[in-house]
Structure 1
Amino acid sequence: MHLYDLARAAGPAPRAQAERREFRPVVRPGVTRIIEGMPHLPAFVKNERLDTLAANALGRALFAPMYADPTTGANSARFAFLSPAARTFYTDWERVTYESVGVLCVAAGKNPYDRDLSNLIGELCTRSDIFRTMWGSHDVHVFREGTKRLEDGLSVVVYSAPPNTAAEDALKLLASWSATAGQDHARDTDIPSTK
Structure 2
Amino acid sequence: MNRTDLMPEPARMRKVLFILSELLDEDVEWMANAGDRLRYPVGAEIIPFDSQPDNVYFVLDGSFSVLSASGELIVELGSGEIIGEMSLVDPARSTASVRANQGASALRLSHTRLRNKLAADAPFAARFYRALAVFMSARMRHTTRRFGYGQLDEPGMPHADDISEAMLAKAHQASLRFERLLKRMAS
How high is the TM-score relative to the length of structure 2? 0.25
User: What is the TM-score normalised by the length of structure 1?
Assistant: 0.24
User: Which structure has the higher relative contact order (CA within 8 Å, separation 6+)?
Assistant: 2
Larger radius of gyration between Structure 1 and Structure 2: 1
Q: Indicate the structure with greater helix content.
A: 1
